[in-house]
C-alpha cells in the first residue's frame, strides 16, 4: 500500500433487499484516514473483488503535475427562453457536446427530454 498504514475489512450486510458484501479500505495518510468502500450483492461480489482491490489497493501519493494542476470544470446556470430538448438548449448555450450526458444528469434529465424554461 505504498507505505501508508491501512486496514482492509470485508463484511456482509443484511437488508430487506438481500445480503450485500462490502469491502472497506481504511488508509491513513498523515493526520487523515480515507475510507474506500465497494459493495455488491453477496452472490456477485467475487466478480467485483479484483476490481475493488485494484482501485482501492493502489492508493498512493499523487506526484504527477499533469494531474495535480488540472483546472476544475465550471458550471454556469442558464435559463432557457424557448422550447426544445435539453440537447438543443445546451447547443444554444455553447455547451461542450462531449459533456452532454453529464450535464443531463446534473439537470435530472435525459438529453432528449423537453426543456421548458428550466435552468441548465
Whether the per-residue pLDDT at 2 is higher than 90: the answer is no
The sign of the dihedral angle between the CA atoms of 105, 107, 112, 113 is positive
Band (pLDDT 50/70/90 cuts) for residue 35 is very high
- pLDDT digits over 36-86, tens only? 999 999 999 999 999 998 888 888 888 999 999 998 888 888 888 888 899
From first CA to last CA, the distance across the chain in angstroms is: 42
Q: Where are the domains of the chain?
A: 6-64, 71-120
Supply the pTM of this predicted model.
Answer: 0.54
Nearest Cα to Cα of residue 117 among 78, 79, 76, 91: 79
- pLDDT digits over 38-48, tens only? 999 999 999 99
Residue 106: enclosing H or E segment and its boundaries? helix 100-106
Amino acid at each position: 500500500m505504498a507505505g501508508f498504514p491501512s486496514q482492509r475489512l470485508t463484511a456482509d450486510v443484511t437488508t430487506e433487499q438481500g445480503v450485500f458484501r462490502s469491502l472497506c479500505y481504511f488508509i491513513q495518510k498523515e493526520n487523515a484516514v480515507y475510507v474506500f468502500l465497494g459493495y455488491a450483492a453477496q452472490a456477485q461480489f467475487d466478480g467485483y473483488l479484483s476490481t475493488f482491490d485494484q482501485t482501492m489497493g493502489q492508493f498512493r501519493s499523487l506526484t504527477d503535475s499533469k494531474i495535480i494542476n488540472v483546472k476544475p470544470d465550471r458550471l454556469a446556470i442558464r435559463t432557457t427562453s424557448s422550447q426544445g430538448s435539453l440537447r438543443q438548449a445546451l447547443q444554444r448555450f455553447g455547451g461542450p457536446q462531449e459533456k452532454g450526458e453529464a450535464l443531463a444528469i446534473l439537470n435530472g434529465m435525459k438529453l432528449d427530454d423537453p426543456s421548458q424554461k428550466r435552468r441548465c
